Amino acid sequence: MGKLTDWQELSPGGVVAAGDAEQPSTGGWRTGLRPEVELSACVNCLLCWLYCPDSAVLLDGTAFAGFDYEHCKGCEICAFACPTGAIAMVAE
Amino acid sequence: MSLELLTGGEAVAHAMRQIDPDVVPVYPITPQTPIIQGFAKFVADGRAHAELVNVESEHSAMSAAIGAALAGARTITATSSQGLALMAEVVYIAASMRAPIVMALGNRALSGPINIHCDHSDSMLIRDSGVLQLFAENAQEAYDLMLMAPRIAEHPNVLLPVLVCLDGFTITHSAEPVVLLTDADVPRFVGEYRIPHPVLDTAHPLTQGPFAMPDYYFEFRRAQAAAAEAALPEIDEVAAELERCSGRRFRALEGYRADDAERVVVALGSTAGTAKDVVDELRGTGERVGVVKIGSFRPFPRAALRETLAGARTAIVLDRADSPGGSPPLFAETAAALYGSGVALESHVYGLGGRDLHPADVRALFTGNQPLYVGVRGEPCPA
């Protein structure tokens, strides 16, 4: 989470602007395992990107570009979805 | 302005017609029904233009009211007793979401035993919800408070629901002369509905009513408490502005012949009116008695109470609600406000379930030596 605000700074009723899901660093909740890729085995099918529930697979245009560890929770879905076994879960 | 013979319920319906809110989600319940019946007729006759939502329960009425108010629509509803009890869960949410909903409450005893007549147990049920509670003394004041309520609720420093309480039957169903502002003056006085973040402002998408964990819940509640406190000066400001249109001035706390009084009755609602008549009578025989009418129970005018009673010997606090095993709510509030002031305190519970408090009963209270529960059969008088 970002800096906690004082009560005087809250908007009335706690209205939150939409689209702020990038702000909280939910990667802090990670299970203790993080995905790592062996790029030589990656075929750029992007199934990991498609399946990731936290939008934590990064793209460079249409090319796989690694993981956003600020938001990856370590759920392992990408590793299961990967058809070539290029993604391994590594203990942190 | 026009002088009409109206019940409190009809006066509130006229106020709603003149305010012409956008949405009115409501469920009928005695003694509130005449309010919404009157207003529904105005809508049917084309004299008011609200979306009248015939919901299936009060729980739904308040839920719809929150949605409407936060979407950007001025929203009014009304209820009584069990209706408010069913609504209570959502009332807390309305306050926490800072939805400036106006609600008329025909005060009625909570079941059980089931009863349809006046006491203030329904108001007190949501005492700590964050909703502001203004109490009318008569039909005229119920009308005036309904005109004031949107201005208070929607004030940027407040943004809280406002409950306008009128004693069931005593005010809701009793006809009195009521002066109405003109149909042109009311919209000018009330103004346009504006809230900081209307949901239907699609250019600025947002989330309303977020989940708050232990790291934020307390801050939300603290902000809500500050908003309720901030309402006190706004109530006075709006009352002063209405006085310029109407010549009548509502006070969060009204002292009636209280300046040099030794024994002062502290009361809410129509009973304050009864007590004023008795004070006039007793003053005629040289008794130094007075009345403090609490017009705003939430926020509670603590400083004004202390100031008004600075010279008094005894505050006789009359509660039309009980707190079994504890202190009645108005007494507890008064005692806390007067703590250390040297004013002696008397607590009395009266009028539960619509039992009348006659002038003779108030006279006896001023004279002294009455039990905690007044007007109940079998209660021994204190020695």
Cβ atoms of residues B348 and B373 within 8 Å: yes
Interval B262-303: pLDDT, tens:
999 999 999 999 999 999 999 999 999 999 999 999 999 999
**Overall size of chain A counted in residues:** 92
Structure tokens at A49: 């990107």
pLDDT of residue A16 exceeding 90, the answer is no
pLDDT of residue B128 exceeding 60, the answer is yes
Give the residue from A15, A20, A26 with the most B CB atoms within 10 Å of its CB, the best one to mutate: A15
CB of B206 less than 8 A from some CB of A:
yes
CB of B208 less than 8 A from some CB of A:
yes
Q: Which chain A residues have a beta carbon less than 8 Å from that of B220?
A: 7, 10, 14
Percentage of residues in chain B having pLDDT higher than 70: 100
Please say whether the dihedral angle defined by the alpha carbons of residues B129, B131, B134 and B138, taken in this order, is positive or negative: negative
Which one of A8, A10, A18 has the shortest CB-CB distance to B207? Answer: A18
pLDDT of residue B124: 98
Who's near B219: CB < 8 A, 6+ residues apart?
A5, A6, A7, A10
Interval B133-154: pLDDT, tens:
999 999 999 999 999 999 999 9
Q: How far apart are CA B152 and CA B160, in angstroms?
A: 8
Q: CA of A9, closest CA in chain B: separation in Å?
A: 9
CB of A14 less than 8 A from some CB of B:
yes
Arithmetic mean of pLDDT, B38-67: 98
Cβ atoms of residues B47 and B19 within 8 Å: no
pLDDT of residue A24: 77
> Residue with structure tokens 């035993």?
B113
Cβ atoms of residues A73 and A35 within 8 Å: no
Percentage of residues in chain A having pLDDT higher than 70: 96
Distance from chain centroid for Cα B324: 23
Identity of residue A59? L
pLDDT of residue A1: 45
Q: Please choose, from the candidates B180, B135, B147, B144, the residue with its C-alpha nearest in 3D space to the C-alpha of residue B6.
A: B180
pLDDT of residue B325: 97
pLDDT of residue B181: 98
Element spanning B294, H or E: strand B289-294
Interval B109-121: pLDDT, tens:
999 999 999 999 9
For chain B, the average pLDDT equals 97
> Hey, is B241 helix, strand or coil?
helix
* Pairing state between β B206-207 and A16-17: antiparallel
Q: Least CA distance to A20: which residue of chain B?
A: B206
CB of B159 less than 8 A from some CB of A:
yes
Interval B91-111: pLDDT, tens:
999 999 999 999 999 999 999
pLDDT of residue A2: 60
Cβ atoms of residues B34 and B62 within 8 Å: no
Cβ atoms of residues B371 and B379 within 8 Å: yes
Structure tokens at B80: 């009584």
Higher per-residue confidence, A2 vs A9: A9
Cβ atoms of residues B68 and B102 within 8 Å: no
Q: Report which DSSP code applies to A21.
A: T
pLDDT of residue B179: 98
Structure tokens at B38: 């009157």
- Tell me whether residues A14 and B216 touch, CB distance under 8 A: yes
Which one of B205, B210, B219 has the shortest CB-CB distance to A7? Answer: B219
CB of A13 less than 8 A from some CB of B:
yes
Q: Which chain A residues have a beta carbon less than 8 Å from that of B215?
A: 1, 4
Confidence of residue A3 (pLDDT cuts 50, 70, 90): confident
pLDDT of residue B58 exceeding 80, the answer is yes
- Tell me whether residues B207 and A16 touch, CB distance under 8 A: yes
CB of B174 less than 8 A from some CB of A:
no
CB of B96 less than 8 A from some CB of A:
yes
Q: How far apart are CA B141 and CA B249, in angstroms?
A: 9
